[in-house]
Amino acid sequence: MLQKDVLVIGAGPAGLAASIEAGKYGASTLLVDLNMQPGGQLFKQIHKFFGSSAHRSGTRGYDIGKQLLQEAQEANVEIWMQSTVIGIFPEHKVAIEKGLDSGKKEMITIQAKKIIIATGASENAIRFNGWTTPGVMGAGAAQTMINVNHVKPGQQIVMLGTGNVGLIVSYQLMQAGCDVVSLIEAAPKIGGYAVHAAKIRRAGVPIRLRHTIIEAKKGENGCVCGCVIAEVNEHFQPIPGTEETIACDTIALAAGLKPTMDLVKLAGCKLTFNGPFGGYIPLHNDRMETSCLGIFVAGDTTGVEEANTALEEGKIAGISVAEDLGLISPDTASNQRKEIWERLHSLRLGPFGERRMQEKEAVMKEYETCIGAPIPIQ
């Protein structure tokens, strides 16, 4: 059986950052991901990132992705793409369906001293009449089409949701040459950053608050030809008589994300439900270790946030495994973690971050109360 010091699952910002830290300190590190290319969502993020200028802000997402891949190479991280983890067993034996250059798959079992799960999050679907009609898609899918595959999903887009994903993807659809007809938002206010909303409005695109989509209209070609929207009451229920039809060929849904928990559950990590973080998440401590000894988590899997916080959490997980493997001293690890937690703290300040900071602290407190010390996988 192939032996590794560290197995990192998921090659997005959190998994890459964790691999780079572990590899840098000399751990034999394998990073696996089921996608074709590493980088997670970074390569479709063509916008300049917010954050601290000391840490890559003002840099476009794909450039951050390129830098991370370079650093992973320098840290001797081995990367398997199109490779899916299908089982996690006691003694950290992991079954991987490995993608081969030939396009075929091979079953490989490896044993890793430490496992870091950074499987990210997936988009929430919104169900309405006709929601399975071709032309209805997640906003993330539309973003992948334009920015990675360079194919427009359609010409006339209606976007549901005004969180940062809805606002940013709307802007990028316009950059790609699509017409964004309208943004629809059930809440009484815009969810994302004002500066992103301002770009949309400057471009002359209306934002319809207190409205939702109740139906996707199907055209003769079997694809979306319009959508019916309606005003909603304070319980987010459509108000009869307020329906109106908007012509469009694409409906993009930006209704939040939920952490991808399959492997965390498979490993038997203790979970907690957290609404603001998107659903069930693994309890973890300030070293990013779960209730299972030697199994760590980082990034959106621990609660949906954004790439900057994912990178920092990934680093913490990488430092913690290096410490547990005896590659760095507990003092060094502890000091580095302290610095990163300070940066995370500053990223979670302000009206958009405070709630996440409180929730993060609550998750770690629940860990201390309910778990205390991690125990091996049963």
Residues in touch with other proteins (CB under 8 A): 47-53, 57-60, 63, 174-175, 177, 188-190, 193-205, 207, 209, 308, 346-353
Minimum CB separation from other proteins for residue 220, in Å?
31
- Residue 155 tokens, joined: 């010409």
Closest to other proteins by CB, 1 vs 195, is 195
Closest to other proteins by CB, 44 vs 287, is 44
DSSP letter, residue 49: P
Minimum CB separation from other proteins for residue 109, in Å?
42
Minimum CB separation from other proteins for residue 191, in Å?
9
Minimum CB separation from other proteins for residue 176, in Å?
9
Closest to other proteins by CB, 132 vs 175, is 175
**How many residues would you count in the chain?**
378
Closest to other proteins by CB, 10 vs 163, is 163
- Residue 181 tokens, joined: 């007809």
Minimum CB separation from other proteins for residue 341, in Å?
14
Minimum CB separation from other proteins for residue 306, in Å?
10
Question: For the sheet containing 224-231, what is the strand order?
Answer: 211-218, 224-231, 244-247
Minimum CB separation from other proteins for residue 342, in Å?
10
The secondary element (H helix, E strand) that includes residue 252 is strand 250-253
CA–CA dist 375, 292 (Å, integer): 5
CA–CA dist 47, 219 (Å, integer): 34
Cβ–Cβ under 8 Å, residues 297 and 284? yes
Rg from Cα positions in the chain: 22
As a whole number of Å, the end-to-end CA separation of the chain is 20
Task: Spell out the long-range contacts of 176-181 with Cβ–Cβ below 8 A and sequence spacing 24 or more.
Answer: 176/146, 176/147, 176/152, 177/152, 178/146, 178/152, 178/153, 178/154, 178/250, 179/155, 180/205, 181/156, 181/157, 181/205, 181/246, 181/247, 181/248
Closest to other proteins by CB, 243 vs 354, is 354
The secondary element (H helix, E strand) that includes residue 85 is strand 84-89
Closest to other proteins by CB, 34 vs 174, is 174
Query: CA nearest 11: which of 88, 100, 71?
Result: 71
Closest to other proteins by CB, 74 vs 354, is 354
Closest to other proteins by CB, 326 vs 350, is 350
Exposure class string for 251-264: b at 16+ Cβ within 10 A, else e: bbbbbbbbbbbebb
Minimum CB separation from other proteins for residue 348, in Å?
8
Minimum CB separation from other proteins for residue 173, in Å?
11
Closest to other proteins by CB, 292 vs 340, is 340
Cβ–Cβ under 8 Å, residues 304 and 257? yes
Q: How far is CA 302 from the centre of its chain?
A: 10
CA–CA dist 109, 138 (Å, integer): 34
